[in-house]
Homo-oligomer: A and B are copies of this chain.
Amino acid sequence: MKSVLFIEDNTDIRENMAEILEMAGYKVYTAPDGKEGVAIAQTEKPDIIICDIMMPVLDGYGVIHMLQKNPETQGIPFIFLTAKAERFEIRKGMELGADDYITKPFTGTELLNAIESRLKKAEFLKREITPDLQGLNALITYTTGKDIMKEFAEGRNVNKYKKKQIIYSEGNHALRLFYINKGKVKSFKTNDDGKELVIGLFNEGDFFGYVAMLEGSSYKESAEAIEDSEIALIPKDDFEKLVYNNKDVMQKFIQLLAKNVTEKEEQLLNIAYNSLRKKVADALITLHKKYKTGEEGKFTIDISRENLANIAGTAKESLIRTLSDFKDEKLIDIKSGDITILDEKKLNSMFN
């Protein structure tokens, strides 16, 4: 059950609305002034807060200020109640971090609508966006009103790529975002001698190609299908509308990219100094994390030795030798090319 905190000094309004909210199925906390409201917010952590601006002791601005300070309460949707429809008041409230405001006098329906719409939005934003942008789909649908899945069904904007086919190349201008409906894709960079390093692996349901678009430049790497794939193209416009039109989404993207930076730094250390054995072990773990299915137990990968070598950042032959070592040590098993991970723990804690 969702809980609501209603902070309002006018006893009539407070009790009246509390009743309506309870009838609508919310658990309701009420407070007659800001100070008490903050206290309740801290202890009860309601799902949403409705707060009057003009109040004795601690006014609405003070309340939101205090709640913003505490990481535990700062994410709670916050709706202001204001008697004045003046732009100045509204603006100040929004700048302080309120999500919405309701002008007095208001009806119960208005209040319920505002609450519901905010809670729904909060729901979307709570979902973690993973580095491969799982869940972006829902956000795009929510923000642009276009249902990507529906466009799939109609076959619009979907390309088919054969195994080994290039999807985009380094230097191409970034004009669209890619979504994998079916198949697997790798992104990679090539050095002067033509040696290839895989820097991204993407699976069904993943988005890729977004870094170049966010940077506003051309692709700095290439992408290639490693299986026959079906890939949806999302126009740059739609993507930018999503990213730049919503403060919360932007915040998510900042976090996502920061995480991305950290991951790359991690990989940097690994490739720079670790032994071949550890590099290969790490590559296997990466694949495992990336492609594991829901079910527990043995995990099997079918990947070309060349690609695996390029993930680990080593030569094909070195990789193969290391794999057979691992096989002898019963860390993995190889059956007609397919690699099965037997002892994930040991692989993970591989000594250098």
Contacts and interface: CB of A to CB of B under 8 A. Distances in A.
A189 B271 CA distance: 12
Contact of A211 (B245, B261, B266): B261
Given A103-B87, A254-B250, A313 B273 contact: yes
Contacts of A259: 215
A48 interface: no
A272 B197 contact: yes
Contacts of A267: 268
A338 to B, nearest CB: 26
Contacts of A90: 87, 90
Interface string A265-304: 1111111111000000000000000000000000000000
A69 B264 CA distance: 33
A109 to B, nearest CB: 16
Given A87-B101, A199-B269, 4 more contacts: A69-B237, A97-B245, A189-B266, A257-B261
A9 to B, nearest CB: 22
Contact of A258 (B192, B211, B313): B211
A261 B260 contact: yes
Nearest to A237: B69
| A interface residue count range (under 10 / 10 to 19 / 20 to 34 / 35 or more) | 35 or more
B258 A195 contact: no
Interface in A241-261: 243-245, 247, 250-251, 253-255, 257-261
Contacts of A160: none
Contacts of A247: 244, 247, 250
Interface string A212-230: 1011100011000000000
Interface of A: 69, 85-87, 90, 95, 97, 101, 103, 189-193, 195, 197, 199, 211-212, 214-216, 220-221, 237, 243-245, 247, 250-251, 253-255, 257-262, 264-274, 313, 351-352
27 contacts: A85-B86, A85-B87, A87-B101, A87-B103, A189-B265, A189-B268, A189-B269, A190-B269, A192-B274, A192-B352, A197-B272, A199-B268, A211-B258, A211-B262, A214-B258, A215-B258, A215-B262, A220-B262, A243-B254, A244-B251, A254-B254, A260-B261, A264-B264, A267-B268, A268-B268, A271-B271, A273-B313
